[in-house]
Amino acid sequence: MITEYQPIDVEADPTEVVRVQRLIDRPTVCALLGISAETLRLWIKDGKFPRPVIIGDIHRWRARDYNKWVADQMRAVKG
């Protein structure tokens, strides 16, 4: 399993497979959790949800961060 993603010099080897992290947008995160954008904003502000990756004006969440957060929440409920 790959845990870290390194930049690839495609000029050196154009056949290299580029591994990308899946990113989830705000409407999708809200739909998956059944919450409003305002609730998501407050959770982030209060440190209750992972901060997004910001690329220019685009805010996205790494799927792995989202999945880990959900798993942590489920463990907390069980424990």
How confident is the model over 33-50, as pLDDT tens digits? 999 999 999 999 999 999
CATH of the domain at 68: 1.10.1660
Domain around 31: 23-78
Q: With cut-offs at 50, 70 and 90, classify the pLDDT of residue 25.
A: very high
**Nearest CA among 37, 7, 40, 39 for reference residue 21:** 7
Residue 55 in domain: yes
Token pair in block for residue 11: 């000029």
Residue 30's contacts (CB-CB under 8 Å, 6 or more residues apart) are 36, 37, 39, 40
What is the spatial distance between Cα 52 and Cα 74, in angstroms, rounded to a whole number?
21
Q: For the whole prediction, is pTM greater than 0.85?
A: no
* DSSP state for residue 66 in the 8-state scheme: H
* DSSP state for residue 48 in the 8-state scheme: S
- In the chain, the number of structural domains is 1
